[in-house]
């Protein structure tokens, strides 16, 4: 049995590399019944964060999301609350 992580690390990936990783991660986390997960997209120029947020807005598996707070990684991470089954 494969273990599903609570965090996805996308920083240093291109948008083209990150999108399939994000989709797969959300599906696995949702299927595993997780309520909250963390996506590390890094700070950088903000392009990856924007794309991640765009995809999260479109996903029926996502209830809400926010930037990380103090001690969570700040704007370099997004905290995602997953929908209930």
pLDDT tens digits for range 28-83: 999 999 999 999 999 988 999 999 999 999 999 999 999 998 888 899 999 999 99
In a domain, 12, yes or no: yes
Asked if residue 10 lies in contact with residue 41, where contact means CB atoms within 8 angstroms, the answer is yes
What angle do the packed helices 15-31 and 47-58 form, to 10 degrees? 40
Number of domains in the chain: 1
76-85 pLDDT, tens per residue? 999 999 998 7
Instruction: Round to whole Å and give the CA distance between 5 and 37.
Output: 8
Q: Which domain holds residue 48?
A: 7-82
Strand partners, 38: 7, 79
Give the global pTM: 0.92
Instruction: Round to whole Å and give the CA distance between 83 and 31.
Output: 11
In a domain, 1, yes or no: no
3-class secondary structure, 8: strand
In a domain, 32, yes or no: yes
């Amino acid at each position: 049995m494969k273990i599903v992580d609570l965090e996805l690390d996308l920083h240093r990936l291109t948008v083209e590399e990150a999108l399939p990783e994000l989709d797969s991660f959300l599906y696995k986390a949702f299927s595993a019944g997780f309520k909250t997960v963390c996506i590390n997209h890094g700070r950088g120029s903000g392009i990856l964060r924007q794309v991640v947020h765009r995809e999260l807005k479109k996903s029926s598996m996502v209830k809400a999301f926010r930037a990380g707070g103090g001690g969570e990684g700040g704007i370099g991470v997004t905290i995602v609350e997953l929908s209930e089954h």
